[in-house]
Each structure stands twice: as C-alpha cells, then as structure tokens.
Amino acid sequence: MCFHRNNVVYCIAFALSIYLVRFLYKTITRYRASKRLNCKEPPSPPQKDRLLGLDFVYQQIVDIQKDRRNASIRELHEKYGPTFSSKFYGSRKIHTVEPQNLQAVMSTDFKSWGVEPLRLFSFDPLIGRGIMGTDGRRWEHSRALLRPAFSRKEISDLPSLEVHVQKLLDKIPRDGSTVNLRPLFTRMALDAASEMLFGESLDMLGNPTPENEAWLQAMNYGQMTLGKRMQLPQWNFFTRDAKFWASCKSVHQFVDAKIEAIARAEKDPTQQRDKHYVLAREVLKETSDPLAIRKELLNVFLPAHEATGVALTNIFFNVARHPHVWNKLRAETLQLPPGQKITYETLKSMEYLQAVISESLRLNPSIGTTSRIALSDTTLPVGGGSQGEAPIYIRKGDIFSVSFYSLHRRKDLFGEDAEQFKPERWVNNHPPRWAYLPFSGGPRVCIGQQMAVTQAAYTIVRFLQTFKDLENRDPVLEFQEQFTLSTQSRNGAKVAFTGALD
C-alpha cells in the first residue's frame, strides 16, 4: 500500500515539475519577445484584487445595474488614457480606443483574435452555435450561408418594408398626444425580420396571436439574461435561473415549429412560393438538420431586429431634442419629386438624412462595447508606456475590449463638440479610418449593417412625408442607457407628432 502511495506522489510531483518547467520556459520566451519588440505595459487603474480583479468586475456589474456601463468606461479612459489594462476574472484585459489597435485586432491581425471563448457559453443556451459566437471554419460557413440574405437585392426590397412601416404609421396619434416610439419600432423590426427569416411576419404591429406574444416575451427575457451571462463568464450558477431556461425552451419550440412547417411546404408540389427571399428556405437547401437551421436563424434574428429598432429609437430621441434637425430633414425630403418612388439609391443620395443617422449612431451606438480574446501570442501597435506610443505584448488568453461609445466621443478625433448631436459634422467631412465603428469592422463587421441603415432611413422619410412637426415630450433631456446585449434608451423616445399630412 505504501509503495503504491509513493508512486502516486512521485507521479504528481513529476507532472507538477513538467508544468512548472513549461510555465517558466513560456514566461521567459514571452519576456524576451516583449523586450525584442520594445513592448511596454499600458497604465492600469489601482485594483485591490490584483490576482482575479474581482473588485473591478464587481464595479462593472454595479455600473450595469445603475445603467452606467458606457459612461463608467469612458470615465476610466478620461482618467487613464486611450489604452489601459485591468484584471478580469484573472485574465489580463486591455481596454483601448486607439484606431491603430482596432485595425490590428479587427483586420490586419484578425486571425490572432476570436470571440468563441468569450461568447459561446453565454449565447449557446438561447441561440446556439452560429455567426454570433463562433470562430474559424464554423464562423466562415455561417457567414457565407447568411450573406445572400443581406445582398443589395434584398436590402433594396423597400416595398416589402413599406407594409410594416405603414402599420407603424397607423399607430401614431394624429391629435398631438404623446407616444413612446421604442415599443413600436421594436415591433416593426420584429415583423420585418420574421418575414425575412420565416417567410411570414409575426404581425406584432397588427394582430399578434397569443403564441407570438408569448414567444416575444420569452425572446426578450432570454436576450436580457444573455447580457448578464456575458458579465459572468463560466459562472453558470449565478445565471442559471429557471425562467431563463424556460424562455430558451419556448423560443426553440416556436422556431422549430416554423422550420417544420416550411420544410413540409417545400416538399408539397401544390404549394405556391412567393419570390421573396426567405432565409429558412435557403438554409434548408444546405441542410435538413432542424437543430442546425434553428441555430442559424436565431443567430440572425437576435441582431437583425435589435439593429433597426434600437437605431430608430435613438435617432428620434436625438432629433426630437433638436427641432432644427427635423426641419432640415423635412426640407430635404420635400425636394423629392411628388409621387416619386423611394428607392435604395434615393435614400443614399439624401446627404443630410445619412448624416443624421451617422451622428446618432456615433453618439449612441447600439453596441456600446465589444471584446475579443487572443488565440495566440501577438502584439498591439500602440498604448504601452507612459506616453502610449510603445507596442503592447499580448499573451494567448488576454482580452481586448473596445468601447465604441468612448471612441466616438474622443475630442481629438471628432472635435471639441464631440459630446453634441451635430449632424452637420458629417457633411463633406469624414473621421479618420477606424475611428467610427457603429457596426464594428473588418471581416466580422455586422453583416446586416446596410439593411439596418436602409430600413432606418426609409422609415424616417416616411415619417417626414406623413407629419409636419415633431416635439419632444420627455422631461428628461439626457440619454439614459439601458443595457441588455445592446444599449437602448431607458426612456425610449417619447414624442408627439402634429400637422398630419396624410
């Protein structure tokens, strides 16, 4: 017995020795590489817990609960500079709003960085493995599969969008009473997204069925919980509430039933098929696995309805507080020939309209922050040292975090008036490359960005054609953030329209 125990002890000691030797070798190798490349450490806020950084994590969670997630990160950048580091559950986290670093991580050094170790744990229960939470070949396959859904042809299909926009306009009071646009924009975006995915709208603006309403509630709760899970990676016991798992089950059953119905219709030669692009039908051509199809659809649906609904809410929030912007938009819209059909090209040619959209996305990007994790040792071009001019050595497992909210408010990039809503800054003027990223950038740039901007632009023009005046009805003038996976206006967009023209 004693001999056996000694063998176990020797084996453990040998394994620990091997681990220690490898650890020391890797540490020395990295140290030498860092010196050879003239890398230096970025500044770092003081942390009581220097091992795991739980004090910093706790403060971030508190800031989220207080709806100060974006503002608190910006305050840290104001204090410690464009690039600083912190500990995050024991990992080294580099926070940066330097365009050179963003270009490296998102484009030129793209293969050294990924999202799967950060996101998949959070996303998998609700939407599964797909374009949102995977890397490598799986991500490439999903993106290639989904790209046709966001082609120029589909983005230009504005008559299909008009059906949903008209239902939205019918919900707007004509007597000058107050309306909160946020839930209406959310439902319109849901209708448009569901039609693209399933071939039929959920009709959330019309007469939604109790089943559709229940599914929307389950989806909303699941999405809200994803935001919490992102803050507690791999600490499943903190987020494993029964309502979340019940919501995931409801979402899956609803989508599975839709897929089954579409699959049956595809096999029925008597069924007439419309000419509109339906993502579920296209994915069915690639695979008959209902689980795989569901994952692809939900990975599109999650950002698709968020991007348009949140962007429109934030745009009207800002425009309502600046009457001269509404008047300039109306003047531009009135220049369109009477009865002219609104096309994709028409919207792109409306310079001030595009400027208003860009300015709102700058001040209030739907996604305030995003992160990547180093898949291999690499470097960041700048941010190290007291002046921030030296490169930073990155070890495999380090986390890169960018606050688009902070980046877009840098006065050295957007001027001393960077805090102000000023669409005029975009007329004949563009920021430096990699300084404006409302939809991220590089190969992982949001696949639906052009569709979101086009849908928002079309909806705004239809409001301008329908109403003469827009008035703010929210006594709170400052934007108050509400964080789920995206950053929304907590107060929505409480406004009134007068002078109906229809």
User: Which residues of 52-107 form beta strands (DSSP E)?
Assistant: 83-88, 91-96
Core vs surface per residue 75-84: b (16+ CB within 10 A) or e = ebbeebbbbb
* Cα–Cα distance measured from residue 151 to residue 153, given in angstroms and rounded to the nearest whole number: 5
CA distances (Å), 363 to each of 20, 35, 163, 419, 422, in order? 49, 39, 30, 7, 10
Residue 43 tokens read as: 């500044």
Core vs surface per residue 8-35: b (16+ CB within 10 A) or e = eeeeeeeeeeeeeeeeeeeeeebeeebe
* Cα–Cα distance measured from residue 490 to residue 67, given in angstroms and rounded to the nearest whole number: 9
DSSP 8-state secondary structure symbol assigned to residue 497: E
Does 39 count as an annotated binding residue?
no
* Cα–Cα distance measured from residue 412 to residue 72, given in angstroms and rounded to the nearest whole number: 20
CB atoms inside a 10 Å sphere around CB 178: 12
- Counting other chains too, the contacts that 62-67 makes at CB distance below 8 Å and 24 or more residues apart are 64/227, 64/231, 64/483, 67/480, 67/481, 67/482, 67/483, 67/490
Burial label for 3, CB within 10 Å (0-12, 13-18, 19+), is exposed
Q: H-helix or E-strand containing 400? A: strand 399-403
* Cα–Cα distance measured from residue 24 to residue 22, given in angstroms and rounded to the nearest whole number: 5
Binding residues for heme: 446
Binding residues: 446
